[in-house]
Amino acid sequence: MPTIDRDGVRIFYQEAGSGEPILLSHGYSATSRMWQDQVEALRQHYRVITWDMRGHGQSDSPELLEAYSERHTVDDMAAILGACGVERAVIGGLSLGGVMSLAFHDAHPAMVRALMLFDTGPGFRNAEARQAWNDRTLQRADDLEKRGLAALGRSDEIRLGEHRSADGLARAARGMMTQTDDHLIRSLPNIAVPTLVLVGADDTNVLAATDYMAAKIAGATKMVIPQAGHAANLHQPAAFNRAVTDFLTGLPAD
């Protein structure tokens, strides 16, 4: 099982295929298994790297809350690329994975060949909206601590993953999903790489956020997948893969 050691925290990742590298990050309480259809579709022409965030799947769940944060996640992503010998990659993610992809670009713009943002948003500019999000996130963490993995439910992206620690997922919610400011919103006009903003037509919670990102990121490509919800890659894999492949093949020569 390929892992990297991040100060005693083992982070699981996998590689498939060869060619231009793509790093895909999953959503909260999902795992790298949610990308299996995309790996199969892309591996013939691309080097696809997937991974499990700390607290998720086959990665470790450190006991200290301080070990979970946007900064730790971004550093995990950079360390995985380093372990793979990759200096620059297409960076993509769904939901929380999309948030972390934005954060990765903000921290390491020179390492980003292009961005793919799926069913995600850049956070909240309004402090009250941000606090409401944080309150819901902390309630989700409380529920995981009280009821264990049964609190996850059976949504499509969750159903594909297997987790070892409900407490790890709770700490990931507290440390990685909660938001303190609007720095990612403010970073959007600074994105100068080709960007795909994709959303399921039925993912009503992030439709406005994806419109906003597509408007703020110069030259962004916006794609809406019909009859798809928050896990657009699972609900309509053929349409999702076609949109991703069209975007990738249209990238200018590096």
Specify the CATH number for the domain of residue 25.
3.40.50.1820
Q: What is the DSSP string of 148-196?
A: GGGGG---HHHHT---S-HHHHHHHIIIII---S-HHHHHGGG--S-EE
Domain presence at residue 234: yes
β pairing state of 46-51 and 89-94: unpaired
Q: How many domains does the chain have?
A: 1
Measured distance CA(91)–CA(14) in Å, rounded? 15
**Structural contact between residues 119 and 230, judged by C-beta atoms closer than 8 angstroms:** yes
Domain presence at residue 254: no
Domain presence at residue 143: yes
Helices marked H in the chain — which ranges?
Answer: 36-42, 70-83, 96-107, 127-147, 156-159, 166-172, 183-187, 207-216, 232-235, 237-249
Domain presence at residue 53: yes
Residue 216's domain comprises: 3-249
Angle at 90 between CA 85 and CA 93, to 5 degrees: 110
Domain presence at residue 88: yes
pLDDT of residue 150: 82
The one-letter amino acid at 167:
D
Q: Which residues contact 24 (CB under 8 A, 6 or more apart)?
A: 32, 35, 38, 48, 49, 50, 92, 93, 97
pTM, 2 dp: 0.96
Instruction: Classify 29 in phi/psi space as left (phi over 0), alpha (psi -120 to 50) or beta.
Output: left
Q: Tens place of pLDDT for every residue, the chain, 254 residues? A: 799 999 999 999 999 999 999 999 999 999 999 999 999 999 999 999 999 999 999 999 999 999 999 999 999 999 999 999 999 999 999 999 999 999 999 999 999 999 999 999 999 999 999 999 999 999 999 999 999 888 887 666 666 678 888 999 999 999 999 999 999 999 999 999 999 999 999 999 999 999 999 999 999 999 999 999 999 999 999 999 999 999 999 999 87
Domain presence at residue 190: yes
Measured distance CA(94)–CA(27) in Å, rounded? 5
**Structural contact between residues 99 and 122, judged by C-beta atoms closer than 8 angstroms:** yes
